[in-house]
Structure 1
Amino acid sequence: MEHFAKNCKDGFEFCRKTSSTVHHFCFMKDCKEMDEGNSTTVVVKGLTSNGLIYRIRQELLKAGIQVTAMGPGFISIKQPALLSRLDEVLDAWGIDLLDESESQLIRRTKSALQYSLEQQILPLRGLLRNLSEHTGCPYYQLSSLFLAVEGVTLGRYVLRQRLDKAIERLTYTNGSVSEIAHQTGYRDETHLALHVEAERGLPIAHFLKIRTARFSTYPNRSYELFAPSELATGS
């Protein structure tokens, strides 16, 4: 098995050449979403559990590879020159690098989902159908890819993103619960409340209380000025 690399639009292209096939993988440099340092981020399939992430991190350290960030579906390293060694370690554990076409498909799907959550009011089935049509990829294929990369099916991933959007609006806008439920594709206020409590273990009243406290402290501050990261900390 032979490895080689060259520059490409998004970072550089790393190739694995076997006797009959050349596999192409496009990696991003300085990926701000994954790591703040000067790192190279690779997207992988099969790295989904915390136990496996811990074991792989230990194996990479033994191989002399400096890991700057690591989580379900991705690894960021400091030394792009060691990508061939990284590939060998992952291959021994049955973990595959995401090839260029799969990476593009994941990015297009996530981008289309964010647009839909911001601009359209669709129930879950409508969202999933819209994503499949936008990417030109059958749902079962998209779902299998998300399961391999994110550790959850596409349907589950969409549910989480939709709920995050609803909680963001509950906390940072002055819309009613009924309006926000409608805006984010839930049937009604009760439907949204059930999902919030099931997924977060908290009643909707908890997030409305945060909203009240924020608007009391900053009565003239608009929704756009609140940092999204504040939602996670509740500060």
Structure 2
Amino acid sequence: MNTTKLFIKNMVCDRCNRVVAEELSGLGYTVHNISLGEAEISAENDTIDLEKIRQVLTDNGFELLDDRKTQVIEQVKLAIIDLIHTQGEADQRVNTSDYLSQKTGLDYSYISSLFSAFEGITIEKYLILQRIEKVKELLVYNELSLKEIAYKLGYSSVAHLSNQFKKVTGLTPSHFKEIKENKRKTIDKII
């Protein structure tokens, strides 16, 4: 029984993994492995109907990625989302270029130019946007001080976090915390 690896856009959380696994199983496929942005499946008769898969994924807000360059872009996004939204504090201080090269198995300069060409922003800008969304989330929860948030997300200081937050949102973190009108974005909709 041969397995097929699928690359899926907008698959950014455990709930997404569960939905995709249920839908693929519902189509009669055996799901061997599932993680953010990827699913490894097989079929009893070794026939994989990509059009049926594409349709069921589309119906659930996902997208099947066929193009290798698009797959790399999605890998980069998912690696950054994983780093910012699910990894521990120590992981926030990793070298981003080394981290992404290791996650994708590709040279960072290639990844960087590909990402910029496809998305219209740099990887660094995308990373900042993801961090700011995480800051918003932590501010709304109101469980950590700004100093704790800065440390947790790998900022060098509260001032650095505050300056970056204001540059991206137009608000200071304390003003954002007060008004909470600036709705947070879902992490898969950040560009």
TM-score (norm 1): 0.49
Task: Spell out, residue by residue over 1:170-219, the C-alpha distance to the aligned partner (whole angstroms, 9 max, x if none).
Answer: 122310100111111111211101101112111111122247x9xxxxxx
Aligned counterpart, 1:156? 125
Q: Give 1:101's aligned residue.
A: 68
Question: 1:11 — aligned with what?
Answer: 54
Structure 1: how far apart are the matches of 2:131 and 2:157?
14
Amino acid paired to 2:120: G
SS in 2 for 1:11: helix
- Aligned residue among 157, 180, 184 for 1:231: 184
1:78 corresponds to which residue?
Answer: none
Spell out the pairing of 1:25-104 with structure 2 (5 A cutoff). Answer: 29-30=58-59, 32=61, 100-104=67-71
Q: Report deviation, 1:30.
A: 2.9
Which digits, 9 at most, give the CA deviation of each residue in 1:76-98, with x for residues without a partner? xxxxxxxxxxxxxxxxxxxxxxx
- From 71, 82, 93, the counterpart of 1:115: 82
Name the CA shift for 1:115/1:198 in 2 (closer, same or farther; >3 Å): same
The residue matched to 2:144 in structure 1 has which SS?
Answer: coil
Shift of 1:160: 1.2
Segments of 5+ residues of structure 1 without an aligned counterpart are 1-5, 13-27, 34-40, 44-98, 214-228
1:120 counterpart letter in structure 2? G
- Gap runs ≥5 in structure 2: 1-47, 186-191
Aligned to 2:168, which of 191, 199, 214?
Answer: 199
User: What residue identity is the alignment partner of 1:159?
Assistant: I
Asked if structure 2 preserves the Cα contact closer than 8 Å seen for 1:124 and 1:159, the reply is no
Counterpart pick for 2:103 among 134, 148, 153? 134
Residue in 1 that maps onto 2:153: 184
Structure 2 CA distance, aligned partners of 1:31 and 1:136? 30
Identity fraction in percent: 30
Task: Check whether the contact 2:93–2:154 (CA below 8 A) recurs between aligned residues.
Answer: yes
Large movers: runs of 4+ above 4 Å: 122-125
Alpha-carbon offset, residue 124 of structure 1: 7.0
Indicate if the aligned counterparts of 1:112 and 1:131 stay in contact, CA closer than 8 A: yes
Contact 1:182 1:188 in 2 (8 A): yes
Q: Which has the higher contact order (CA 8 A, sep 6+)?
A: 2
- 1:231 Cα deviation after fit: 2.8
Cα displacement (A) at 1:159? 1.5
**Cα offset, 1:123, TM superposition:** 5.2
- Aligned mates of 1:207, 1:165 — CA distance in 2: 13
